[in-house]
Chain A
C-alpha cells in the first residue's frame, strides 16, 4: 500500500480562481490535472504539497478546434481525446501518434496534454519510494546532495520523459500560460532547459491553458517514434518526432527533428538544412540526417537501460522514420 500524505484539496471552477489559489499558497501549492504523474510522485514522497489545486473543473482548458490558421488544443484535454480527434490526426498526425503511445489506455483516459507538457523529469534514482531513496542517501533532485548518475554534485540530468513535446516542437507549437501576474505565450521549442530538477522556464504558479499548433504548409509530413521496454504502459527509453516539408518533386523544403527521453530536455537536432534542404530523401541524405542525430545525442545512465544501446538506437530509428515518410512500409 502506498498512502498519499495529507493535503487540502481545492477544486476551483475558473482559471482565475485557480491562478489566485496557486499564487496565494506559493510553494505550499501544487497543481494537479489528470494526476497520473503527480499522484504516484506524491505517494513516493517526491512532492509534499500542503495544498493541491485541481485543474479538472476549468472550462478554459477544454476543447480542440481549428481557429484561423491554428489548431488550438485545451491543456485539460485527455491524451485519449487528443489521439482520437480527427482535426489532430489531419493536421498534426505526429502529435496524435505521440499522445496515443503514452502509457496505457486507462492512463490516456486520465492524463492530460497539459500534464504531459509539464511532466516532471524521471530517473532511476528518483522515481522510487522514500524508503528506497533513503537507503541510497537520496539525491540532488530531492532531499540529497549528490547525483548518482554523474557522481558529482551541482547538476541533475534526469530524463525528459514526455512523449508529446517532441512532436509539438517539430510542429512549431506555442504554449499559453496564465498566472495571477498575467498571461504569456512561449514557443514549446523554448520551454525546456537543461536542468533535471525543474526543466522548464515555466514558473510553478503558471497554468498552461492551451497549446496552439500552426497548420502546417502543404506538403508537410510528420512522424513520431518511440522505443520502450514493453509496447504498452512504459515510459520512453527514447522518442523522436519529425516534421518535413517536401515540394511536389519530393525535395526537402524544411526539416525539423527532435530526439528526447535521453537528457533533461528534448534536443532539436541542428545542422539538418545543410545536409537535407533542396534534396530528395535519398539513402545518402537519410544517413547524413541520422548521423547528425547520433553525433548530438549522448544519453546517460539516468534510465536503467544501457546508454550506449539507447544511443545506437538513435540513428536506427531516425532512418526508419525518414524512410517511412516516403514509403510507409519502411517505417516498420
Chain B
C-alpha cells in the first residue's frame, strides 16, 4: 500500500510517496536520492543510519517512513552551510577521524545532537553520546579528539560573538 508522507528534511519541506513498509532510511536513500545516511547493518546495531528526528538521534533503518509524518528530519546533508562545512566536519577532516568513512555520517549526527545541547562536554560525555555508533577503522580516539576540537571552536566562536555584541 502506498501513501504520501510529508516532513521537513534539512529545513526543506518534502513530500513523497512511500510503500507502508519502507523505512525512513529507504525513503531518504531511494525515494529522495539522499545517500549520505548509510545503510550498514540495516537492523539497529551499528548507528551508520543515524539521523535527527526532531533533534534526537534516531536509527532511520528501523524507523517506519510513515512515522516521519509532520516531523523535522536532519541528515548529514543538512550539516554544512553555503559558508562551508560544519565545524564537526572540518575537525573530522583535520584530525583524521574518518578512514573508510562509512560510520562518519552517523557519528557526525550523534555528535551534532550532543553539541546542540552541551557545547562543553567532557570526554566521557562524548563517549556516552557516541556509544551507539560503531567504527571498524579508527579505534575511536581521533573521533573523540575531533569532537573536542569542534566543541572548542564552537565555544570560541560563541564567545567572540558575545564580545562583539557587548562591545
Which positions 26-69 of chain B face chain A at CB distance < 8 Å?
39, 42-45, 47, 50, 56-59, 62-64, 66-67, 69
Question: Given the complex of chains A and B, what is the CA–CA distance between A39 and B56 in angstroms?
Answer: 19
Question: Given the complex of chains A and B, what is the CA–CA distance between A160 and B121 in angstroms?
Answer: 36
The reply to whether A1 and B66 form a contact with Cβ atoms under 8 Å apart is no
In the complex, the chain A residue whose C-beta lies closest to that of B114 is A105
- The answer to whether A107 has its CB under 8 Å from any CB of chain B is yes
Stretch from B93-101, B124-132, B141-149 forming part of the interface with A? B124-132
- Per-position 1/0 for A15-49, Cβ under 8 A of B: 00000000000000000100110011001100000
Most buried by A among B3, B23, B43: B43
Stretch from A2-10, A168-176, A296-304 forming part of the interface with B? A2-10
- The answer to whether A149 has its CB under 8 Å from any CB of chain B is no
A2 / chain B contacts, CB cutoff of 8 Å: 42-43
The reply to whether A109 and B56 form a contact with Cβ atoms under 8 Å apart is yes
- The answer to whether B89 has its CB under 8 Å from any CB of chain A is no
Question: Given the complex of chains A and B, what is the CA–CA distance between A105 and B106 in angstroms?
Answer: 12
- The answer to whether A104 has its CB under 8 Å from any CB of chain B is yes
The reply to whether B132 and A39 form a contact with Cβ atoms under 8 Å apart is no
Picked from B47, B62, B64, B133, the residue with its CB within 8 Å of the CB of A9 is: B64
- The answer to whether B157 has its CB under 8 Å from any CB of chain A is no
B57 / chain A contacts, CB cutoff of 8 Å: 105-106, 109
B20 / chain A contacts, CB cutoff of 8 Å: 6-9, 52
B58 / chain A contacts, CB cutoff of 8 Å: 106, 109-110
The reply to whether B131 and A233 form a contact with Cβ atoms under 8 Å apart is yes
- Of the four ranges (under 10, 10 to 19, 20 to 34, 35 or more), the interface on chain B belongs to 20 to 34
A232 / chain B contacts, CB cutoff of 8 Å: 131-132
B43 / chain A contacts, CB cutoff of 8 Å: 2, 39-40, 43-44
- The answer to whether A54 has its CB under 8 Å from any CB of chain B is yes
The reply to whether A36 and B39 form a contact with Cβ atoms under 8 Å apart is no
Question: Given the complex of chains A and B, what is the CA–CA distance between A39 and B67 in angstroms?
Answer: 13
The reply to whether A40 and B129 form a contact with Cβ atoms under 8 Å apart is no
Picked from A3, A11, A105, A107, the residue with its CB within 8 Å of the CB of B129 is: A105
Question: Given the complex of chains A and B, what is the CA–CA distance between A64 and B126 in angstroms?
Answer: 28
In the complex, the chain A residue whose C-beta lies closest to that of B3 is A9
Please give the distance in Å from A84's CB to the nearest CB on chain B.
Answer: 12
- The answer to whether A56 has its CB under 8 Å from any CB of chain B is yes
The reply to whether B19 and A39 form a contact with Cβ atoms under 8 Å apart is no
The reply to whether A106 and B21 form a contact with Cβ atoms under 8 Å apart is no
B110 / chain A contacts, CB cutoff of 8 Å: 105-106
A272 / chain B contacts, CB cutoff of 8 Å: none
Please give the distance in Å from A69's CB to the nearest CB on chain B.
Answer: 33
- The answer to whether A331 has its CB under 8 Å from any CB of chain B is no
B1 / chain A contacts, CB cutoff of 8 Å: 6, 8-9
Q: Is the interface of A mostly helix, strand, loop or mixed?
A: loop
B59 / chain A contacts, CB cutoff of 8 Å: 36, 106-107, 110
Question: Given the complex of chains A and B, what is the CA–CA distance between A282 and B132 in angstroms?
Answer: 39
Picked from B50, B67, B128, the residue with its CB within 8 Å of the CB of A106 is: B50
Question: Given the complex of chains A and B, what is the CA–CA distance between A11 and B67 in angstroms?
Answer: 9
B23 / chain A contacts, CB cutoff of 8 Å: 4, 39
The reply to whether B62 and A40 form a contact with Cβ atoms under 8 Å apart is yes
Please give the distance in Å from A235's CB to the nearest CB on chain B.
Answer: 11
- The answer to whether A178 has its CB under 8 Å from any CB of chain B is no
In the complex, the chain A residue whose C-beta lies closest to that of B49 is A106
A35 / chain B contacts, CB cutoff of 8 Å: 62-64, 67
Please give the distance in Å from B1's CB to the nearest CB on chain A.
Answer: 5
The reply to whether B64 and A54 form a contact with Cβ atoms under 8 Å apart is yes
In the complex, the chain B residue whose C-beta lies closest to that of A6 is B21
In the complex, the chain A residue whose C-beta lies closest to that of B109 is A106
Question: Given the complex of chains A and B, what is the CA–CA distance between A8 and B57 in angstroms?
Answer: 26
Please give the distance in Å from A256's CB to the nearest CB on chain B.
Answer: 30
A36 / chain B contacts, CB cutoff of 8 Å: 44, 59, 62
The reply to whether A7 and B67 form a contact with Cβ atoms under 8 Å apart is no
Listed from nearest, the 5 A-B pairs whose CB atoms lie closest are A104-B132, A232-B131, A39-B62, A9-B20, A40-B43
Seed contacts A1-B42, A106-B57; 19 additional CB < 8 Å A-B pairs = A2-B43, A3-B21, A9-B20, A9-B66, A11-B69, A35-B64, A39-B43, A39-B44, A39-B63, A56-B67, A80-B56, A104-B47, A104-B132, A105-B128, A106-B110, A107-B44, A107-B59, A109-B56, A233-B134
Using a CB–CB cutoff of 8 Å, the interface residues on chain B facing chain A are: 1, 3, 19-23, 39, 42-45, 47, 50, 56-59, 62-64, 66-67, 69, 110, 128-129, 131-134
17 contacts between A and B (CB under 8 A): A6-B19, A7-B21, A9-B1, A11-B66, A39-B43, A39-B63, A40-B44, A52-B20, A104-B47, A104-B133, A105-B129, A106-B47, A106-B132, A107-B59, A109-B57, A110-B62, A233-B134
